[in-house]
Amino acid sequence: MSSGGAEDDIPQAERKTVTDFCYLLDKSKQLFNGLRDLPQYGQKQWQSYFGRTFDVYTKLWKFQQQHRQVLDNRYGLKRWQIGEIASKIGQLYYHYYLRTSETSYLNEAFSFYSAIRQRSYYSQVNKEDRPELVVKKLRYYARFIVVCLLLNKMDVVKDLVKELSDEIEDYTHRFNTEDQVEWNLVLQEVAAFIEADPVMVLNDDNTIVITSNRLSETGAPLLEQGMIVGQLALADALIIGNCNNQVKFSELTIDMFRMLQALEREPMNLASQMNKPGMQESTEKPARRENPHKYLLYKPTFSQLYTFLAASFKELPANSVLLIYLSATGVFPSGRSDSEGPYDFGGVLTNSNRDVINGDAIHKRNQSYKEMHCLHPGDLYPFTRKPLFIIVDSSNSVAYKNFTNLFGQPLVCLLSPTAYPKALQDQSQRGSLFTLFLNNPLMAFLFVSGLSSMRRGLWEKCQDYLRKINRDIAQLLTHSRSIDQSFLQFFGDEFLRLLLTRFIFCSATMRMHKIFRQETRNYPESYPQLPRDETVENPHLQKHILELASILDVRNVFMENTLDDY
């Protein structure tokens, strides 16, 4: 027998409980830390690892629930440690959403993050003299805010920002740490992000309209009998943000944020339980609920961008489409070229690494070199071997008019205006108007019309009328006799159909709006070109836009007889 001590008084069953808990806790941390070593691109390697990680966290979460009293008494389990486990589970669900684009897992992340707040798991952290614990709490708040932004829970976001602000103030007051500036910057970023979207106030009760811009059951115009379209499906999307000075939060610019929602369906509520995502049979998910898989790339280098492009291209299923969305600063050619090839018009900016400074010096001495930190149209040529849908929102978007369809596969480029009227130019930090039209066309229309408040009934009437406009645009496009077949090939997919109809609505609106008609740089363009008289300048569509303007009593900002000018 041993000489005795407090440890010997612990019953064997309770000692085993503590040992098992410590094992599960260590195993969970090991697996969670291993997630960051998984490749960010490619769809197959990571699923089994995520499954194992979820499995361990499922057991850990249930174990601490079942043995709470023993763990409290014998292990000294603190509430912030339970909160840390719940926070990791929320992170797992969020990262699973990023990997799969399945929006239902955002709801799961929200349920765990919300439980931490409701049960005050982190409430005692501030009483301990350990700054690293407070940082865990601050990071939890930042992650929770991102999830709420993606779920459009703006009331919760505002509460969380206030709480985070108070927590940061307390943290910086108590601890003289080096990260004070960084946390204050986080607050500034999220405040700017919230303010970036145009606001519509309903006069009836002075409430702000919160719209979800994901695809709903009534979102995309239905394909009517007689519409001949392709059977391609959007499978993969690269959403790239590299605009200088644009509002961003958590490596997500406002343009990226808007576009990723335009490529998702409304989330379904899953039963909040620790199922293991990725381990379910694919037959359990209805095919119509599938979202295209997305890669979100904030300021990627050229090599990073090309690596992700190649991975998407490689894994693209048959009869599927790859979408590339480029929101980036324009790069213009440095000198005139005798020839006009796909590398002579510039393109959009990619991020630069410091190890190419010498290359920059050479480039500046000799203007015959092309800009190395630029994604030129020619860089995308290899990927036109499969159906490719490109959206370029940039001051040099027109560089991508100079495409050549080398392989005969469906190929469309939607290109933003390269300049905006002076009255709107100071809005660029708050996101592009072009992307706003693709994300929320009614709010964009109201913004260019100078409206920020209206009656609730009028808001609903405008939404209904815009759905009618979308249906008619779909008919114009599919009934056109001279349209390039690539547009029709993509029109069978709901997401691409919605983007195309919104693009045409955007183009028609800008061509009719008085302040946009100062110069053609203010208009969107496309490759291949749309037949103008049958689409963006169709009299039937122009009549619809004037009618929408009349409903809103802003007809005076639009031209009445636009066709007479051409």
| Predicted confidence (pLDDT) per residue in 382-437, tens digit | 999 999 999 999 999 999 998 889 999 999 999 999 999 887 766 778 899 999 99
| DSSP letter, residue 71 | I
Q: What does pTM read for this prediction?
A: 0.91
**Furthest-apart CA atoms within the chain: distance in Å:** 104
Contact 261, 319 (CB under 8 A): no
Sign of CA dihedral 544, 547, 548, 549: positive
Instruction: State residue 337's pLDDT score.
Output: 61
In order of 232, 404, 461, the CA distances from 485 in angstroms are 13, 15, 34
Residues pairing with 327 in the sheet: 241, 393
Instruction: State residue 38's pLDDT score.
Output: 87
Helix (H, G, I), strand (E, B) or coil at 469: helix
Which residues of the chain, if any, have pLDDT below 50?
1-6, 271-274, 278-288, 354-366, 563-566
Instruction: State residue 339's pLDDT score.
Output: 66
The arrangement of strands across the sheet holding 374-375 comes to: 330-331, 347-349, 374-375
> What's the distance, Cα to Cα, between the start and end of the chain in Å?
102
Instruction: State residue 210's pLDDT score.
Output: 81
Instruction: State residue 475's pLDDT score.
Output: 92
Residues of the chain with CATH 3.40.50: 233-268+290-352+370-557
Architecture of domain 12-198: Alpha Horseshoe (1.25)
Instruction: State residue 288's pLDDT score.
Output: 46
Instruction: State residue 368's pLDDT score.
Output: 58
Within a 13 Å sphere around the CA of 72, how many CA atoms are in the beta-carbon half?
6
Question: What is the CATH number that goes with domain 233-268+290-352+370-557?
Answer: 3.40.50
Residues of the chain with CATH 1.25.40: 12-198
The rounded distance, in Å, linking the Cα atoms of 489 and 474 is: 13
